[in-house]
Amino acid sequence: MLQIMEGSHAVAEAVRLCRPEVVSAYPITPQTHIVERLAEMVADGDLDAEYICVESEFSALSACLGSSAAGSRVYSATSSQGLMLMAEVVFNVAGMRQPIIMSIANRALGAPLSIWNDQQDSLSLRDSGWFQLYGEDVQEMTDQHFIAYKAAERHDVLLPGFVCFDGFILSHTYEPVDIPTQEEIDAYLPKYVPYNMLDAKNPISMGMYATPEYYHEFRYEIDRAMDRCATALSEAGKEFGEMFGRDYSEHIESYRMDDADIAFVALGSLCGTVKDAIDEMRADGIKAGLVKIRTYRPFPKNDIAKALAGVATVAVLEKNISIGSAMKGAVGPEVLHALNGTGISVYSYVTGLGGRDIRKKDIRNIAELAVKGEGDMFYGLREEVL
Amino acid sequence: MALRIGCCAPPGKACDNKTGSWRVFLPVVDPETCTLCGNCVLICPETAMEEVEGKIVVDLDYCKGCGLCAEECPTDAIAMELEEK
């Protein structure tokens, strides 16, 4: 049944349905409403979980790591500086192969201080070993929590995951959203069965010291698990589609790509604007299309190469900056690599940092720049303030 | 050792991981000056020092040659010597 809900509250509702046994998070804008609502649910008895109050994000994820090691299904949520404060534990969680799911309400990183949206925070931790999903609207970001738990907890995966969505743009927006029932989710997502767990009767040590003889191979194993994660996410998405009618078996979504000459690549809520801009461009005879990336890690290289095969030019819209890199953004080089040897021109456009609006006319301007071969640049700089 | 997911190990596994190969310096105990005070046994982070039948012996499978024992010894009975390999 469709209900009008705030994005954050829809996420909290989805998390409740996943039956986490432990929730630990520290409130930070724009993630706060999620964990406030979860704390209410625990206090009211609507969610049978331990809510661990902590004094910082470092402690929040540390508490989650310990709880997960003890065999619980665990949830956390954060944003921006909070994710950076967690960074050390983020790598430990992945290395210890604990399938924790964490929502990231994407927000710009300081300094200068900004509470508004871009995707710098989660993309900065792309190499940590967490898979990363990006939602376009409230429905998609809500559904991705179920899929994330299902894929993460598979014993051939056992990797943690970020479910990312644009802060404020999605977290604070009210949209009609279809929330499944508890019975439906119980049928989709069975109880978590840990592969290893701390147990006084069968003691083990976790996250041991690895000498140079072993460390290399452990990292290789995480990377192999990430490869298998692509299949696991796809299968979990397909099964979700069969049960709920919303299919997430593809890591990307192609929009009007059949005969496109110019393609945009983007992540998250921006894709809605791009789709509208494409419709207008199509009406004017410009053959444009969009490849929306849902799964940034593991990166769906083959899917992207296939979807972009027929185009002449690709414009990657980046709500992040990889400072000092040749292409400026973090997504562009991966797309370029996927298209290596095809002769297709790929350009990155850093745009919408720190919450700057990206409008339909901006998308159109970027298309014009890409066709002219002007790219790998900041788009929309206010020259008068430089 | 087969790799275990998340680098998990049963108890006692650290004993299998002989870390003495990292060593550059080796503690050499002079039994004449040693008063068997036991400070070196207490301070050794690897529990590689032990008193056996009135003498301090070093377990070279685990001693990493950090030299804390020599620093701590009140009678300067322990000398850190470069180990020939």
The one-digit pLDDT tens for each residue of chain A (386 residues) are: 899 999 999 999 999 999 999 999 999 999 999 999 999 999 999 999 999 999 999 999 999 999 999 999 999 999 999 999 999 999 999 999 999 999 999 999 999 999 999 999 999 999 999 999 999 999 999 999 999 999 999 999 999 999 999 999 999 999 999 999 999 999 999 999 999 999 999 999 999 888 888 899 999 999 999 999 999 999 999 999 999 999 999 999 999 999 999 999 999 999 999 999 999 999 999 999 999 999 999 999 999 999 999 999 999 999 999 999 999 999 999 999 999 999 999 999 999 999 999 999 999 999 999 999 999 999 999 999 99
A218 interaction partners in chain B (CB closer than 8 Å):
3, 7
If interface means Cβ-Cβ distance under 8 Å, which residues of chain B face chain A? 1, 3-11, 13-14, 17, 19
d(CA A254, CA A266): 11
Q: Coil, helix or strand for A165?
A: strand
Check if the interface score ipTM surpasses 0.90: no
Quickly list DSSP for A98-144: ---EEEEEE-PPSSSP--S--SHHHHHTGGGS-EEEE-SSHHHHHHH
- Provide the shortest C-alpha distance from residue B41 to chain A (in Å): 23
Q: Measured between CA atoms, how close is A97 to chain B, in angstroms?
A: 5
Residue A132: which of A294, A308, A255 has the closest Cα? A294
Round to whole Å and give the CA distance between A348 and A329. 6
Distance CA(B9)–CA(A193), nearest Å, equals 19
Q: Tell me which residue in B1, B6, B11 faces A196 most closely, judged by beta carbons.
A: B6
Nearest to A158 among B5, B11, B13 (CB): B5
DSSP A63: H
Calculate ∠ Cα A45-A47-A53, nearest 5°: 90
